[in-house]
Amino acid sequence: MIENTLAKENIGNCAIFPVPDIGDDSEWVEHVEVLVPKFDVVFSGNDFVMKLFKKSGYNVRKVAFLEGVNGTDVRDKIIKNHEWRELVPEEAAEVIDKVKGIKRIKKIFSRK
């Protein structure tokens, strides 16, 4: 979803790497450094993550989030059959449709 949206916006000077959580804040920066190529700038919306990287000497930039728009809200709207597409880029909605995301989300969250 992110890659498709970036491509549509002609943003190609970045790469996305999955970084699984390790449950150890004191090792987080080193964990990220091991998993991704060398980097100079950290973009985050998480104040704690920003603090960890600043402490390690990185240039940190805060990502602005849209008020009221997050994955939890989108999933909640999908589960309740409310309109959700206006909350995500068109490219994200296309991926959700392609992978049968609505059905998958409803199945996962009906178990809870």
Judge if 75 and 56 occupy the same domain.
no
pLDDT digits (tens, 9 = 90+) for 35-74: 999 998 998 888 999 999 999 999 999 987 767 668 888 9
- The model's pTM is 0.64
pLDDT given at position 66: 67
Judge if 13 and 40 occupy the same domain.
yes
pLDDT given at position 93: 94
Residue in 20, 15, 3 with CA at minimum distance from that of residue 92? 3
Q: Which domain holds residue 96?
A: 71-110
Q: Could you say which of 38, 62, 86 is where a domain stops?
A: 62
Residue in 57, 32, 61, 65 with CA at minimum distance from that of residue 44? 61
Judge if 13 and 51 occupy the same domain.
yes
pLDDT given at position 58: 97
> Average pLDDT, stretch 19-44?
93
Residue in 70, 68, 21 with CA at minimum distance from that of residue 49? 21
Tokens 């049968």 found at? 100
Judge if 17 and 56 occupy the same domain.
yes
Question: Alpha helices, DSSP H only, in 56-100?
Answer: 71-79, 90-98
Judge if 40 and 82 occupy the same domain.
no
Judge if 45 and 76 occupy the same domain.
no
Judge if 35 and 87 occupy the same domain.
no
Judge if 77 and 102 occupy the same domain.
yes
Q: Quote the CA–CA distance of 36 and 89 in Å, as a whole number.
A: 26
Judge if 57 and 24 occupy the same domain.
yes
pLDDT given at position 65: 73
Mean pLDDT (the chain) is 90
Domain count, the chain: 2
pLDDT digits (tens, 9 = 90+) for 65-104: 767 668 888 999 999 999 999 999 999 999 999 999 999 9
Name the DSSP class of 86.
Answer: G
Number of CB atoms found within 10 A of residue 84's CB: 19
